[in-house]
Amino acid sequence: MTLDINTIVEILSGFCLLIGSFLCISGGVGILRFPDFYTRMHAVGVTDTLAAGMILVGLMLQNPDALVVIKLLMILVMTLFINPTASHALAKAAFHNGLMPVLDDTEILNSKERNKTTDNDLEPK
């Protein structure tokens, strides 16, 4: 079976879109399941940048029009600049305001026993 160039591009595009969508969902799952602010932000930050990038690349491959591709490329470059910066700003603001990352389960247990307060949904596994 021979594959012409169009089919290959189509498959590549579909692959990119699929990966992008999967990363979007995994970011959403991460924000719900991860224990503290920093890990959640990591889930969203990393997957969002990559997911948006993948979806944009997929869309670029879908479209033969050069102008559209250039526009998508500009959006991609902007996303690559802005998303990590926004994550950085968020993490910095949280750290600046004294929010400490949760390091492991024993620490969660200790802090719970010490304070007897459950300020967020940190459940020991």
- Residues numbered 67 to 86 that lie near another protein (CB under 8 A) are 78, 81-82, 85
| Binding status of residue 11 toward another protein by CB under 8 A | no
> Contact with another protein (CB under 8 A): which of 89, 99, 100, 109?
89
CB of 78 to another protein, least distance (A): 8
Choose, by CB under 8 A, the member of 22, 25, 71, 88 that binds another protein: 88
- Quick one: DSSP state of residue 99? P
Q: Site residues for another protein, window 28-67 (CB under 8 A)?
A: none
CB of 123 to another protein, least distance (A): 24
Q: Which is nearer to another protein, 8 or 89 (CB)?
A: 89
Q: Which of these, 61, 69, 70, 58, lies nearest to 5 by C-alpha position?
A: 61
Please calculate the CA angle 108-43-40 and round it to the nearest 5 degrees. 35
**Residue 56 vs 108, nearer CB to another protein:** 56
Q: Kindly list the distances between the CA atom of residue 17 and the CA atoms of 2, 30, 79, 109, 110, in Å, as whole numbers in the listed order.
A: 24, 20, 16, 41, 44
Residue 45 exposed, middle or buried by CB count within 10 Å (0-12, 13-18, 19+): buried
Q: Kindly tell me which of 33 and 88 has the beta carbon lying closer to another protein.
A: 88
Distance CA 84, CA 47 (A): 11
Residues that bind another protein (CB under 8 A): 78, 81-82, 85, 88-89
